Amino acid sequence: MAFENIKVTNQYKDKVALIELNRPGAMNALNRELMTELKDALHQLDEDENVRVIVLTGNEKAFAAGADIKQMADSGAIDMLKVDQFATWDQIKKTKKPIIAAVSGFALGGGCELSMTCDMIVASETARFGQPEITIGTMPGAGGTQRLTRAVGKARAMEMVLTGKFISGEEAQEAGLINKVVPVEVYLDEAVKCAEKVAEMSPVAARLAKESVLKAFDTPLEEGLQFERKNFYMTFASEDQKEGMKAFIEKRKPDFKGD
């Protein structure tokens, strides 16, 4: 598939794919075309048996500075309803394989929301996370009031959403929004290393585990525990579970095939 607004490398490393947002002249602003390409690429990689983990990145200056303000500026509510870009975002959210965001520079508005849709975030020391929609007369619409609040708590989320304040990579880590903050020279390598680690695991177990952790966001505890239990049982239907436990007993490294 040919893409214009993103670059996709299916085998960036063994079993690890890389998607780079690629609108450097516009700080990787997420226009409709880019989001559709991203949805298609994620779907394609989700189906690709040689890929186990996906790394999503921008460039050193910007992961993404938000939805494309120039494209949105004159839209009416009904135009937006008709275009229904949320369907694209919803599709992205359904990716079954783990996605690791490698964030440097600005991750603002929709860019911050996109990073939070990923399963882990590795950021550079120059990263700036923010939900500045209020400064242009609107508010977050793709998870910025919900995922951010769950991650960093009410006080910080309110401040970011109501004043448009940015937080640094270090603050984001301290607040629990991201996994790791590292020097800018190595943020992509660190994200890829993390992806390679996950790619060594059973892809069946990784898929079920990701699904279970995400379930924690929208279910009461007892329902979440029941869901987790079923997925736990399900891992025992996989060859990978047999291989993993046999390898432990035989004191060797497991070779997970994804069956």
Nearest to 187 by CA among 128, 138, 125, 229: 125
In the set 37, 133, 171, 228, which binds ligand DAK (CB under 6 A)? 133
Q: Which region, judged by CB under 6 A, interacts with ligand DAK, from 133-141, 179-187, 210-218, 223-231?
A: 133-141
Which of 141, 224, 244, 258: binder of ligand DAK (CB under 6 A)? 141
3-state secondary structure string, 76-139?
Answer: CHHHHHHHCHHHHHHHHHCCCCCEEEEECCEEECHHHHHHHHCCEEEEECCCEEECHHHHHCCC
With tokens 């226009």, the residue in question is 31
Q: Does 108 sit near ligand DAK (CB under 6 A)?
A: yes
CB of 132 to ligand DAK, least distance (A): 4
Contact 123, 180 (CB under 8 A): yes
Q: Decide if residue 68 touches ligand DAK (CB under 6 A).
A: yes
Would you call 125 a catalytic residue per the annotation? no
- From 3, 10, 22, 26, residue interacting with ligand DAK (rule: CB under 6 A): 26
Cα(230)–Cα(209) distance, integer angstroms: 11
Respond yes or no: is residue 133 known to be catalytic.
yes
Contacts to ligand DAK by CB under 6 A: 26-27, 29, 65-70, 80, 85-86, 89, 106, 108-110, 132-133, 136, 141-142
Q: Which residues are catalytic?
A: 67, 110, 113, 133
